[in-house]
Amino acid sequence: LELSEDLSAVERLRTEARPVTEQLRRNLYPNLTHLPESLRLRTGGALDGGRLALAEFCPTVFKRVRNVEVADRRGRPVLVIACDGSGSLDESQMHMLKILATAWLESIAGSEIQLLAGLYHSGSVRLGLTGPLVEWIYHPHKTPALGLADAVRAVASLPERGTGVQSDALSLGYIMSEARRLARGGMVYLTILSDTAWNRSFQAEMNGKEEVAALMETLRQEMEHKLHALLVALGQKNTAGLEELLDKVIAVSPSDLDDPASVAQRVGDYVTSRLRRHRRRLQPC
């Protein structure tokens, strides 16, 4: 995406996003992994060879294994912001999308976290050809922004309303392939900002929502605990259908779109509470 030259519009966007930016800045996204921990002296589970001699008079001759979440020193976590920019988004939804995207961009500036942010819809791919399109708000190898703070200028350049038609599963799959390449086995934090009017991407029997669900299920199987997925449903009260495949769905009702500070607080509170739970359990790997 081109960078906006309207610096006053960029500053207004930063000001509106400041409540959630400050909330998110209190915590950084950690890089996590799971290590097996052996629990001995159990009365059930797998037999513990080291205690079999005590079996005649002691019931605690079993052991269990649990996975413990710890800090992973390998690689750097990647924060992915996937923005639905299709024509079904009206002015209020697009405005909220800009505010939230700006907040996430600003909150990780100066940290060790890698960022990937893209707007997906449809448009001119090249002369004479239109189709599904991902335009990068920030990509470490593909955008002209000098840094994360400069990427806010790309957000400010977004239109007032959505344009084109999105291919959700196709675009999200492409964005995630780029994210996994950057993460190199590290944590990927996926945030989807969408009105959840899912469109079909492929000539198959599934509808748009089913395609997105199938994609998320595949990502879960391939990445296991290395993926955290959050959906912010813009202008929606009912988001049934994807909750089991996502870590969290935050529904922003049409009336909430007029109160950016309230939505910012809800998003910020969720991210803060989740990361606080992680930190209580983390120990160096």
Percent of the chain with pLDDT over 90: 28
Residues 63-111: pLDDT tens digits?
A: 776 654 444 455 578 989 999 999 889 999 999 999 989 988 888 877 7
Q: Which pLDDT score, from 0 to 100, does residue 1 have?
A: 85
Averaged pLDDT, 190-203: 90
Q: Which pLDDT score, from 0 to 100, does residue 276 have?
A: 56
- Identify the residue with better confidence: 126 or 285: 126
Distance CA 142, CA 77 (A): 19
Q: Which pLDDT score, from 0 to 100, does residue 172 have?
A: 96
Residues 233-257: pLDDT tens digits?
A: 998 766 667 888 888 888 888 888 8
User: pTM (2 decimals)?
Assistant: 0.78
Q: Which pLDDT score, from 0 to 100, does residue 45 have?
A: 73
Match 């209580």 to its residue by tokens: 280
Mean pLDDT, the chain, rounded, equals 81
pLDDT at residue 192 greater than cutoff 50: yes
